[in-house]
Structures are given as structure tokens and as C-alpha cells.
Amino acid sequence: MVQYNNDTLDAAFAALSDGTRRGVLEQLGRADASITALARKFQMTLTGMKKHVGVLEHAGFVTTQKIGRVRTCKLGLRRLEEEAVWIERYRLLWDARFDALEMIVEELKQKEKANDRD
């Protein structure tokens, strides 16, 4: 069985659970940006954006660098491989369950048709 680092998964899913943070990642995928520019784009306070960036940084999705008075954000090196494996495992599990359910429904339909003919 695959072992997952729960802290890593928790941090990743927590970071990705917020629409603003997903938007920040999308924005940083296009170009690096300062926290000020991100705050302006998402119409929020600097403090609010710093918190969002902090969550993304903790998860490894973003890195920041302070040059003078400007803190610039860019995408981190963290990939979603572990999360993709975790999701795929559960996708396969659910697919198998839905396939089994579909077979049961088909059997019930066949029995119902047979009973209607009798």
C-alpha cells in the first residue's frame, strides 16, 4: 500500500481549497507578481494577501523573495504528484463501486422485465 505524508497532503489540499489561492496560482503561472499587485488584482488587503501567500508558501506552491521593500512571489517547485496519486487511488475505488452498482441495476432491470413477461 502506498504511504502518504498526511502533513504534505493536508497542506496541499488546504492551500488548494480556497478560490483566491487557486486564482493566485493561476496568476503566478502567467507571471511573477508582488504581493501588492496580487492584493490589488484580487481586491483585498495586503494583510489578507500575505496570509494567502503564506499558506501557498507553506504548501510549497509559491516562493517569495524580498528585494528592497517589494516581496515578489513566483511559483514554487512543488508538484502535485503525490496528490494526483492519492486522487487516482480513490477515483479507481469509486469507479469500481459505480461499475458494481451499474451491474446490480442492470440485473434488477432484467428481473423486472422477466417478471413483466410472466
pLDDT tens-digit readout, 16-54? 999 999 999 999 999 999 999 999 999 999 999 999 999
Name the more confident of 81 and 57: 57
Average pLDDT over the chain, rounded to whole? 91
Domain ranges in the chain? 6-75, 80-118
What is the model's pLDDT at position 38? 98
CATH of domain 6-75: 1.10.10.10
Best CA proximity match to 33, nearest among 45, 41, 21, 22: 41
Kindly write down the DSSP assignment for every residue of 89-111, as one continuous string: HHHHHHHHHHHHHHHHHHHHHHH
HSE (side-chain half, CA atoms, 13 Å) at 10: 3
